[in-house]
A and B are shown apart, each in its own frame.
Chain A
């Protein structure tokens, strides 16, 4: 009797622990703890590219104000990480990608709830530490003797970098090919790098910590951001409404203020 009790207790503790872990990060609508049981709360889970963090949080607040009882939860990460998670069954209602290639991975698996729509675009810009210690003026200067940091060709910003340099016929010798555009930006803001290639929006977002240098060759690689509701979402209507808000004037104004260009 006592023995079985111990086993049951252990099993219960384990089950509770596992359940606790599960409901923590996923933002699952099924989780009903005592506090939430009083009011009918719906959670809309949006998976968005890391570069959309500031803008989408703002759009999410607008959405919550317009929809009483709805809470928007975000998961911001690299687009390819997010696609991989959705493919493995993560409970996303909306997916916003930083490039078309990763959205195509989603549609290739038939995981889109509706046709993806382009909602913004972004181009590259040179970022240098305040004061521009290496005296960078244009793209050609990046081929000189300085600590240049770019994105690895495997990630979207690196693919854009390769496209730009190839079309301009410039050969770069970076000291590091980073995993993400935020890593590139961090190397510039800390002064480790003399220059980095990031997006226009990153330069604006970094404020006084970096200086931006526009260059005409950047037009060769315009990064297009598509958004789509995810198939089999428990909140399909809400998901579509969120997509609509991003495409509507309210969402577009927020994006424009952060430096995003309109979708082509």
Chain B
């Protein structure tokens, strides 16, 4: 009589499109595994170009994740806990990189930090060159990844509500103490998954980087750029490196899930 509680509200036919959708996502992953040249796999992985690209990717993605946390946490807090005129418009604009094609982001960054850009000339006078440097890669990654952290943290803040913060404040805690001792611990799972999302997005960044930062081994050529370039001469190597990125992505997602359930 009683349907298993797990299936209430799930009509049987829904499994057909759900399975089709899952197959649509999983089949390409299987195709990469099937096409991977296993006999050359290790050689391809330890080639200097691959290693440098992977290390550069991890280093820049780590840095941009840090920047995302540094700026994204205050942004999320302001968006979730305050109201001011034009807040809705500001939120939409700040989250724009979520839906913007990355190459557009790259062009926008170029006209901001490039030599002839809005801020570029100031940097030029100070002797700082952003374009073609690793800094440019980090900027591109931060630009596209920041909204991911802001969105997930703002959601967590709204879900958590303000009850405990109000209690702490009535007990005499100052705003900074409330933020540090109550708010942050409360939304830590949201912050972790937001940071992991931002890291993953940084790792996959391609369009903004190639438009804004250029491509030079060890300096600006991250793993996605290396994969794209390698396809020109050695498609098998590109597949092998793609698999590396798939594995890293799976590890990142696994880490995010674990982080969420243990906290």
Which residues of A approach B to under 8 Å, CB–CB? 3, 6-7, 10-11, 14, 78, 80-81, 84, 147, 149, 152, 154-155, 174-179, 183, 186-187, 190-192
CB within 8 Å for A177 and B232 given contacts A190-B114, A192-B131, A192-B132:
no
The 9 A-B residue pairs whose C-beta atoms are closest, nearest first, are: A176-B214, A175-B132, A154-B232, A191-B116, A80-B232, A154-B233, A192-B131, A7-B13, A6-B13
Tell me which residues from 205 to 263 in chain B have a Cβ below 8 Å from any Cβ of chain A: 210-211, 213-217, 220-221, 225, 228-233, 235
Which residues of B approach A to under 8 Å, CB–CB? 11-13, 16-17, 20, 110, 114-116, 129, 131-132, 210-211, 213-217, 220-221, 225, 228-233, 235
How many pairs, one residue from A and one from B, have CB atoms within 8 Å of each other in the complex? Answer: 72
List the A residue with the shortest CB-CB distance to B21: A14
- Whether B232 lies near A7 (C-beta < 8 A) is no
C-alpha spacing A177/B132, complex, angstroms:
10
Q: A192 — which chain B residues lie within 8 A by C-beta?
A: 110, 114-116, 131-132
List the B residue with the shortest CB-CB distance to A186: B211
List the A residue with the shortest CB-CB distance to B221: A177
C-alpha spacing A84/B233, complex, angstroms:
11
- Whether A190 lies near B116 (C-beta < 8 A) is yes
Q: A191 — which chain B residues lie within 8 A by C-beta?
A: 114-116
C-alpha spacing A152/B141, complex, angstroms:
22
5 more A-B residue pairs beyond the given contacts A84-B231, A155-B229, A177-B217, with a C-beta to C-beta distance below 8 A: A3-B13, A6-B13, A10-B17, A152-B215, A179-B228
- Whether B17 lies near A14 (C-beta < 8 A) is yes
C-alpha spacing A7/B232, complex, angstroms:
44
C-alpha spacing A80/B232, complex, angstroms:
6
B122 to chain A, nearest CB (A): 16
C-alpha spacing A149/B215, complex, angstroms:
9
Q: A14 — which chain B residues lie within 8 A by C-beta?
A: 17, 20
- Whether A179 lies near B216 (C-beta < 8 A) is no
- Whether B214 lies near A155 (C-beta < 8 A) is no
A137 to chain B, nearest CB (A): 22
List the B residue with the shortest CB-CB distance to A191: B116
List the B residue with the shortest CB-CB distance to A192: B131
- Whether B12 lies near A183 (C-beta < 8 A) is no
C-alpha spacing A6/B16, complex, angstroms:
11
CB within 8 Å for A152 and B229 given contacts A177-B216, A179-B210, A191-B116:
yes
B214 to chain A, nearest CB (A): 3
- Whether A179 lies near B116 (C-beta < 8 A) is no
- Whether B232 lies near A155 (C-beta < 8 A) is yes
C-alpha spacing A192/B210, complex, angstroms:
13
- Whether A175 lies near B230 (C-beta < 8 A) is no
